[in-house]
């Protein structure tokens, strides 16, 4: 199939893009197009106008703040993947990015586009939720920050207004000396949509006790989910393998698991527990191997 007819605009600024979105309620933003274009080809999306933000200079940047890596909405995923300080400052995202599609799609796909399209299996939104990050969205009405926990509402649905432009993404960074991270997912083939994915970041003190823990699962639920209760349960002591799995299993047992033709809810729930347990243990072991400050 081919896309339905549409108009095309290439604004030179965010302000101009917001004006175009305000004038046409069926207009949609395009940057890399790795999600939107296939949806248009299948007539699952029928925008009347595409507002191309890919060449707006103020939307393509990677900034290292003291407590976060801040990324422009139209920044290419490949540019972030190659960023010199990413592995040191934001190791969880560095581990997740190679799982995002293929090299060719990361060369075109943008960080903001992955988040705005809110695919439940997408890796970048999972990292954003796990680390308790946020986005900034600008429209002709306002310029506001939306926390990751409040952003994702379901499959391909967010709290981002249709006339708003996602201008930046904020990934919090940790300053702990003994820190480890891990990311894993299960799919039919590398680069396919994940049936289940899991991310974890763990920090230890000099005695090996857990002082910070962040765990998230994707693919299994309608939106990426941060396991807050399990993360809190692991704080303050040394991570025990059985206790870690028990805390994760208890929280995942209460989640509403997705149903689709690719994997049963029972399978997704079982795999979510296994992957989340694995990434926590892997992150812990990496943190433990680091010399205390």
CATH 1.10.1740.10 for domain 178-289, yes or no, is no
**Would you say 198 and 169 are in contact if contact means Cβ atoms under 8 Å apart?**
no
In angstroms, the CA 243 to CA 240 distance is 5
Q: How far apart are CA 246 and CA 183, in angstroms?
A: 20
Listing DSSP states for 59-76 in one string gives: G--EEE-SSEEEEETT-B
Task: Please list, residue by residue across 169-180, b when 16 or more beta carbons sit within 10 angstroms of its beta carbon and e when fewer do.
Answer: bbbbbbebebbb
The CA distances from residue 163 to 46, 47, 148, 166, in Å, are 16, 13, 19, 10
Architecture of domain 7-52 in this structure: 2-Layer Sandwich (3.30)
Alpha carbons 239 and 231: distance in angstroms, whole number: 11
Kindly state the tokens that stand for 72: 């422009």
In DSSP terms, which residues pair with 168 in a beta bridge?
Answer: 72, 136
Per-residue pLDDT of the chain (293 residues; tens, 9 = 90+): 688 899 999 999 999 999 999 999 999 999 988 888 888 899 988 999 999 999 999 999 999 998 999 999 999 999 999 999 999 999 999 999 999 999 999 999 999 999 999 999 999 999 999 999 999 999 999 999 999 999 999 999 999 999 999 999 999 999 999 999 999 999 988 888 899 999 999 999 999 999 999 999 999 999 999 999 999 999 999 999 999 999 999 999 999 999 888 899 999 999 999 999 999 999 999 999 998 86
Which CATH number among 3.30.56.10, 3.30.465.10, 3.40.50.620, 3.90.550.10 corresponds to the domain 59-172?
3.30.465.10
Angle between helices 265-289 and 241-253 (to 10 degrees): 140
Domain ranges of the chain: 7-52, 59-172, 178-289
CA dist list (Å): 162 to 17, 20, 206: 12, 11, 48
């Amino acid at each position: 199939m081919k896309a339905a007819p549409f108009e095309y605009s290439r604004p030179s600024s965010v302000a101009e893009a917001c004006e175009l979105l305000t004038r046409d309620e069926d207009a949609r933003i395009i940057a890399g197009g790795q999600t939107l274009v296939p949806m248009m080809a299948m007539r699952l999306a029928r925008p009347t106008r595409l507002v191309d933000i890919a060449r707006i200079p103020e939307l393509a940047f990677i900034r290292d703040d003291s407590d976060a890596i801040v990324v422009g909405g139209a920044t290419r995923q490949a540019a972030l993947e190659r960023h010199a300080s990413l592995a040191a400052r934001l190791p969880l995202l560095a581990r997740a990015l190679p799982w995002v599609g293929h090299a060719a799609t990361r060369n075109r796909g943008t960080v903001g586009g992955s988040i705005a399209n809110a695919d439940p299996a997408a890796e970048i939104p999972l990292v954003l939720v796990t680390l308790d990050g946020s986005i900034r969205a600008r429209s002709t009405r306002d310029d506001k920050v939306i926390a990751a926990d409040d952003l994702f509402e379901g499959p391909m649905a967010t709290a981002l207004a249709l006339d708003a432009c996602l201008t930046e993404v904020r990934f919090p960074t940790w300053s702990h000396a003994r820190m480890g991270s891990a990311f894993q997912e299960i799919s039919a083939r590398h680069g396919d949509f994940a049936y289940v994915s899991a991310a974890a970041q763990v920090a230890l003190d000099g005695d090996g006790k857990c002082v910070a823990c962040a765990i998230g699962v994707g693919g299994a639920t309608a939106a990426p989910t941060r396991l807050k209760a399990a993360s809190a349960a692991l704080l303050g002591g040394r991570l025990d393998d059985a206790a870690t799995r028990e805390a994760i299993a208890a929280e995942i047992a209460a989640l509403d698991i997705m149903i689709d033709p690719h994997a049963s809810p029972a399978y997704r729930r079982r795999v979510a527990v296994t992957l989340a347990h694995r990434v926590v243990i892997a992150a812990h072991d990496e943190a433990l191997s680091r010399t205390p400050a």
